[in-house]
Homo-oligomer: A and B are copies of this chain.
Amino acid sequence: MLAALAGGVGAARFLRGLVRVVPPHDVTAIVNVADDEQFSGLHVSPDLDSVTYTLAGVSDDVQGWGLAGETYTVLDSLARFEVPTWFRLGDRDLATHIFRTERLRTGAPLSTVTAEIAEAFGVRARLLPVTDDRLRTMIAVDGPTELHMQEWFVRERAQAPVRGVRFDGADAARPAPGVLEALRTADAIVVCPSNPVISIAPILAVPGVRDALRARRDRVVGISPIVGGAPVKGPADKLMGPLGIDVSCVGVAALYADFCGTFVIDAVDAHHRTAVEAHDVRAVVTDTIMQSPEIAAALAERALRAVA
């Protein structure tokens, strides 16, 4: 059995490779939900959906999020009512959010609904939201009010300088059913190449998760989301820098060192091996840019072998 901590697109692509080298039903992905947001009253779970859609083979790999071949009729029609439409939800994608919202409204926990959605898309890996409770990444910028992650990233296009990051609800959040057990019993635990500040950190912020990982440090292998001093995708650099985290694989390795005994860095970062290992983290050097599912599968195999 394998467990993986997952954010959005980078994690989704890694998991698509992972399920090529191990049986999908042996994989439990523990997914960030702190990017979740309500748009026009519909509950959107961007990271869960990225993982679901990618594993189902229906994701829009060019755009990097959402479903392939989308249309935007509903969103364009909503504009008539002067509601915010900066979060571009496609028509097919909206069906997922309508279903999720109605199930949550009737009292189903997010973990149950997530499993139902995964099954509807034919995904055989187990997807778990890290928590069924409310958890939200809030970004402090100059000015009186924090921004929700999507406001900062999508609406403001990650332009506002970051002064701080906070995970609202983390203190009271409980791991979703199955999360801690998956971490306790997994033969290996992968920290996917996801944004360390807003994808992995909120997972770690749920009480019990980081401790469970520390107890398995020898079986935890991370994949650096930073290659050659820049994120492969997304705004990690704009968050790490202001928070005093070195924008390099070394910075991420240091951040994870207490629970992650092995760290995969890209070949272009081979010269950082010593610096990574200075944090008492074993460095594995390989190709990490997942330009194809085959490369992702090779990366997954290399990562698993390192903690076998």
Contacts and interface: CB of A to CB of B under 8 A. Distances in A.
Size class of A's contact patch?
Answer: 20 to 34
B116 A91 contact: no
Interface stretch (A76-84, A239-247, A292-300): A76-84
A42 interface: yes
Interface string A98-124: 110110010000000000110011000
Given A91-B73, A94-B74, A81 B117 contact: yes
Contacts of A185: none
A74 B95 contact: yes
A195 to B, nearest CB: 29
A102 B40 contact: yes
Contacts of A83: 99, 102
Contacts of A159: none
A56 to B, nearest CB: 10
A92 B77 contact: yes
A71 interface: yes
A141 B104 CA distance: 32
A78 B91 contact: no
A41 B101 contact: yes
Nearest to A95: B77
B99 A40 contact: yes
Contacts of A120: 80-82
A78 B42 CA distance: 14
Contacts of A91: 71, 73-74, 77, 91
Nearest to A81: B99
Contact of A95 (B41, B81, B92): B81
A36 B207 CA distance: 44
Nearest to A101: B41
A102 B41 contact: yes
A95 B74 CA distance: 5
A41 B78 contact: no
Interface string A224-246: 00000000000000000000000
Nearest to A91: B73
A99 B78 contact: yes
